[in-house]
Structure 1
Amino acid sequence: MIKNASLAAATAIFAVFAAPTLAQDASTVVARVGDVEITLGNAIVMRGQLPQQFSQIPDETLFPALIQQLIEQELLAQSYADQLSRGETLMLENESRNFIANAALMRTASAAITPESVAAAYQAYADAFAQGEAVTEYHAAHILVREDAQRDAVVAALDEGRDFAEVAREFSVDGSAQQGGDLGWFAAGMMISDFQAAVEALEPGQVSDPVQTQFGWHVIKLLELRDASVPPLEEVQEELVAEIQREAARAAIAALREAAVVEDLSEGLDPSLLSQVDLLDE
């Protein structure tokens, strides 16, 4: 008896492992509510719509919960669909229109981004940059302190001939201290006005008198000047891509307007009608 039982168990286990896995796709039905079928695709989409905090929850935990939520939603939808108020019906129409319109714009925007379109946009950007007025960029370092005593100590150290970067590392409370106060390159308008004015008054190699701003006292050294050059593609690509997508969206809407019969019948209506929510009850 024991041998036969063991053989039966082994056969069952083998059958489980040997059973072919049925192919699944988005149309696989995972539940029915009356005549309405809920598919695996519905569950996949719902998972993608969950807030970020759900991303770490394993699928084996989420899957049954999502199926039950879809079932409950369908039960409620079926029970209430013919009871929607006029306002609720109009809201549903607006949400559906908005969703489809956004999907159309997203597809249009995505299709507009190609290596060729980005390269052409960058070339146009570079050409416009070259034709504009030359922009001066400043390479400066500074030492920032809060108190008058610290300001005087910085001035004294520099008067003694100590290296500016060394003094910055010792005294400056700015995040640039460990880089010797180096702020890198910047153009006019990127710094607060008093700081910028002090920088522009210097010649390369000169150090300013202490300049007071809302951040404290600055002692500034102008390191270099240069005419701004065209930024590399990687620095402006995000901006260019956004502009390509905006232009593609504008062009798509213009083409649709051109091809359609559109009548704007709102002229002459009182704008205050927008606030008359009671009209939805009529």
Structure 2
Amino acid sequence: MFKNARFVAATAVLAALALPVAAQDASTVLARVGDTEITLGHTIALRQQLPQQFAQVPDETLFPAIVQQLIEQEILNQAHAGSLTAAERLMLENENRSFVANAALVRAATAAVTDESVAQAYAAFAEEFAQGEPVIEYHAAHILVRTEEERDTVVAALAEGRPFEEVAREFSIDGSRNQGGDLGWFAAGVMIPDFQAAVEALEPGQVSEPVQTRFGWHVIKLMETRNQAVPELDEVRDELVTEIQRTATRALIDSLRDSVVVEDLSEGVDPTLLSRTDLLDE
């Protein structure tokens, strides 16, 4: 984006543009191209628009490069603004429209998210969750082996009365072996269907017959079940914020739409015209 030569000249440009600190604000003029002024505010705004990879670049390096970037852009703008093609003019109109619309939506979305709105959204979520069908969670362990011979060895070891956890640590090939096969708590839909069906068929304390899945042979022990508790706010905050913002931006659009006359004249127009780029040729 920036010419290497600009970085080499950083010190010289900074010295030339140095101004008393007390006099500097967003309106401070840093350069002029004809009658057009480039201000400190322009450079700050462009700094905010740079790609993420520039975030760690020191301001001392970026500042002169940004100033020169804006100068060169304005030179090109003044020379070519009046010679844009039809397609380019339409693209510029679309970009301006998109930028203004996005800025309005971002302001509305940001303003809508407050401690109070999040708390209200969480209260409504918790109430709805409590009124819904209980979600059962399962606490289970398993022993996973590859072959039928290993499966039979595991079954025999358990039949001898050896503790499930001990057999899991000795024979299981799953990462849970170090926890005695303990898989922790999970709800329906987390495990693969055949495994889940076997878990749901058990009573707490029971051990299943061997179950074959694409991973191998499982022997499963169901320890306990419980109804899923309402998730903590921190667990659902991102989803709540997204919904608050979606609602706020939709409300803004709807309220503005009601205040202006909108005529949608697109019905009946051939949709294939969308690909007719030749219509933009002058």
User: Under TM normalisation by the shorter chain, which class is it?
Assistant: 0.7 to 0.9
Once the two structures are TM-superposed, the CA of residue 243 in structure 1 deviates from its matched residue by 1.0
Query: After superposition, where does 1:77-88 map in structure 2 within 5 Å?
Result: 77-88=77-88
- Note the aligned Cα RMSD (angstroms): 2.1
Q: Compared with structure 1, are the counterparts of its residues 80 and 131 closer, same or farther at alpha carbon in structure 2 (3 Å cutoff)?
A: same
Partners in 2 of 1:24 and 1:164 — Cα distance? 73
Say whether 1:254 aligns with 2:254: yes
Once the two structures are TM-superposed, the CA of residue 94 in structure 1 deviates from its matched residue by 0.6
Code of the aligned partner of 2:164: F
Query: After superposition, where does 1:146-161 map in structure 2 within 5 Å?
Result: 146-161=146-161
SS in 2 for 1:38: strand
Look up the match of 1:65. Answer: 65
Partners in 2 of 1:255 and 1:128 — Cα distance? 28
Once the two structures are TM-superposed, the CA of residue 150 in structure 1 deviates from its matched residue by 4.1
Say whether 1:121 aligns with 2:93: no
Look up the match of 1:112. Answer: 112
Look up the match of 1:93. Answer: 93
Which deviates more, 269-278 or 83-92? 269-278
SS in 2 for 1:64: helix
Which deviates more, 188-197 or 120-129? 120-129
Code of the aligned partner of 2:47: R
Look up the match of 1:55. Answer: 55
Once the two structures are TM-superposed, the CA of residue 153 in structure 1 deviates from its matched residue by 4.2
Say whether 1:228 aligns with 2:228: yes
Query: After superposition, where does 1:238-277 map in structure 2 within 5 Å?
Result: 238-277=238-277
Q: Deviations over 1:119-157 (max 9, x none)?
A: 221222122222222222111122333444544444344
SS in 2 for 1:66: helix
Look up the match of 1:279. Answer: 279
Once the two structures are TM-superposed, the CA of residue 75 in structure 1 deviates from its matched residue by 1.5
Provide the TM-score with structure 1 as the length reference. Answer: 0.85
Q: Compared with structure 1, are the counterparts of its residues 206 and 56 closer, same or farther at alpha carbon in structure 2 (3 Å cutoff)?
A: same
Look up the match of 2:215. Answer: 215
Partners in 2 of 1:44 and 1:170 — Cα distance? 63
Aligned length: 264
Question: Percent same amino acid among aligned pairs?
Answer: 71
Partners in 2 of 1:225 and 1:68 — Cα distance? 66
Runs of 5+ in structure 1 lacking a partner?
1-18
Say whether 1:204 aligns with 2:204: yes
SS in 2 for 1:262: coil
SS in 2 for 1:117: helix
Q: Deviations over 1:209-251 (max 9, x none)?
A: 2222222332221111112222122211211111111111111
Which deviates more, 152-161 or 60-69? 152-161
Provide the TM-score with structure 2 as the length reference. Answer: 0.85
Q: Compared with structure 1, are the counterparts of its residues 247 and 158 closer, same or farther at alpha carbon in structure 2 (3 Å cutoff)?
A: same
Which deviates more, 29-38 or 144-153? 144-153
Once the two structures are TM-superposed, the CA of residue 96 in structure 1 deviates from its matched residue by 1.0
Say whether 1:40 aligns with 2:51: no
Q: Compared with structure 1, are the counterparts of its residues 37 and 187 closer, same or farther at alpha carbon in structure 2 (3 Å cutoff)?
A: same
Look up the match of 2:143. Answer: 143
Once the two structures are TM-superposed, the CA of residue 23 in structure 1 deviates from its matched residue by 4.0
Look up the match of 1:5. Answer: none
Once the two structures are TM-superposed, the CA of residue 98 in structure 1 deviates from its matched residue by 0.8
SS in 1 for 2:209: coil
Q: Compared with structure 1, are the counterparts of its residues 20 and 151 closer, same or farther at alpha carbon in structure 2 (3 Å cutoff)?
A: same
Which deviates more, 203-212 or 256-265? 203-212
Code of the aligned partner of 1:277: T
Code of the aligned partner of 1:119: A
Once the two structures are TM-superposed, the CA of residue 20 in structure 1 deviates from its matched residue by 6.5
Once the two structures are TM-superposed, the CA of residue 198 in structure 1 deviates from its matched residue by 0.7
